[in-house]
Amino acid sequence: MSDKVISVTELTKSIKSLLEDNFPKIWVEGEISNYIKHSSGHRYFTLKDEGAQVKCVIWKGMSRYLTFEPENGMKVKASGQITVYERSGQYQLIVSAMQPAGIGDLEIAFQKLKAKLQEEGLFDESHKKPIPQYPERVGVVTSPTGAAIRDIIKVMSRRAPWVEIVIKPAAVQGETASVDIAQAITECNEYGQFDLLIVGRGGGSLEDLWPFNEEPTARAIFASKIPVISAVGHQIDFTISDFVADLRAPTPSAAAELAVPDGAELSGYFIDSYRHICQAQLENLESSSDSLRDLTSRYGLRKPMEIINFRMQRLDELRQSFKKTALHMVERFGNQISMSTARLEAASPTNIMGRGYAFVSSPESKEAIKSFTQIAVGDIVDVKLYKGGFKAGVTNVRGEK
């Protein structure tokens, strides 16, 4: 073999030297996407335009020279050294200076649509539907081959294996993806057998996530009668779908966590509840047993006939006492009646007349004559005696002495 064979490392080093020698320091203009400020202090992002993209790094030590904080969608001019990251074999720009060059076209479109839909009320909290606490069937609108669906299935199967997962395939990247996603959401609603929908995809560049920033997707989510969780990209990514959805999840895995309860926690809760119920029932049984023992130990339940006989004896005593009291009262009332009768008879006019008295009255008015002033000489009066009576004429009237 005449051709010299070199290792991958040697090839990469040669390319790295070639690039570094031919591009000692350059300025590159593009739009920032996939911006990450790492905990180490380094910053990683991509500069892109309509036709290509390049990886960029700002080392921690160079960050202090920045006059602004870079953001996704920002159009910038970056100065630095082209090199090759040997581990991945990718070339990248080591940025040493950066200045704003304006806002990228995609960011302008994003802000424009966001303002439009917000003005129409698509983001209002009053339109948000509650997420069901215990869904039985969850629909997932995403690519059937992407990492997102694998993460969702893994998390949901671990947390709630009884929940049915139905995948509604849809393109999540490309020019027609937004229409495809909107159609999938509409068909899920027409089917109507879902308690909840998860709509999303894994991470990517701004262009990769763009279908979730388009109007068809947003309006389909808003029109959905089924509650929707938006799960697009990574935690730092925000899309129009996130604002319209009933709930935003930072990642597809997080969406699965939010969608279903934790079976282990539920199991523990039910076990604790069962224990509490059993303990309460045991306490109730023990209390009832104590009450029953107390009742059965009472004298009345041990010798009921003896108590009944005692009560009957007491009843006889009361009956005899009542009879005696009644006879005494009857006798007393009889004596009182006899005494009253004697007094009445003594005061009776008939008895008085029997002692020689007479009852004198006017024959016309039948009025008793009690005084000499009621008569005059020549008047006729009625005189009633103890036995019989007569009429008499007045021949003489005497006054009081």
Sheet of strand 196-201, all strands in order from the earlier edge strand to the far edge? 164-169, 137-142, 196-201, 228-232, 247-249
pLDDT of residue 157: 93
> Higher confidence at residue 391 or residue 347?
391
pTM: 0.51
Specify the amino acid at residue 240. I
The whole-number pLDDT of residue 241 equals 95
Three-class SS state of 26: strand
Listed in sequence order, the residues at least 6 apart from 229 whose beta carbon sits closer than 8 Å to its beta carbon are 131, 196, 197, 198, 199, 200, 245, 246, 247, 248, 249, 255, 258, 259
Averaged confidence pLDDT in the chain: 86
What integer is the mean pLDDT of 310-319? Answer: 83
* Most confident option among 8-12, 52-56, 68-72, 260-264: 52-56
Regarding predicted confidence, which is higher, 154 or 89?
A: 154
- Among 12-16, 42-46, 240-244, which is the least confidently predicted range? 12-16
| Res 267 pLDDT > 80 | no
Choose the most confident range, by mean pLDDT, from 22-36, 188-202, 295-309, 334-348.
Answer: 188-202
Question: Can you state the angle between helices 215-223 and 177-191, rounded to 10 degrees?
Answer: 10
Q: Output the pLDDT for position 401.
A: 54
The DSSP-derived string for 239-292 is: -HHHHHSSEEESSHHHHHHHHS--HHHHHHHHHHHHHHHHHHHHHHHHHHHHHH
What does the pLDDT look like over 43-86, one tens digit per residue? 999 999 888 999 999 998 888 777 678 889 888 889 998 888 88
**Stretch 275-302: mean pLDDT, rounded?**
75
Spatial CA neighbour of 70 closest among 41, 26, 33: 33
Q: In the chain, what percentage of residues exceed pLDDT 70?
A: 95
What percentage of the chain has pLDDT greater than the value 90? 39
d(CA 44, CA 65): 16
- The separation between the first and the last C-alpha atoms of the chain, rounded to the nearest angstrom, is 190
What are 140's strand-pairing partners? 167, 198
Highest mean pLDDT among 96-100, 150-154, 263-267, 369-373: 150-154
DSSP 133-160: SS-SEEEEEE-TTSHHHHHHHHHHHHH-
What are the angstrom distances between the C-alpha of 40 and each of 43, 44, 58, 272? 9, 11, 11, 45
pLDDT greater than 70 at residue 301: no
Please, where are the H alpha helices in 144-236? 147-159, 177-191, 215-223
Residue 184 predicted with pLDDT over 70: yes
Secondary structure element (H or E) that encloses residue 373, with its range: none
How many Å apart are CA 270 and CA 1, to the nearest integer? Answer: 74
The distance between the two most distant Cα atoms of the chain, rounded to a whole number of Å, is 197
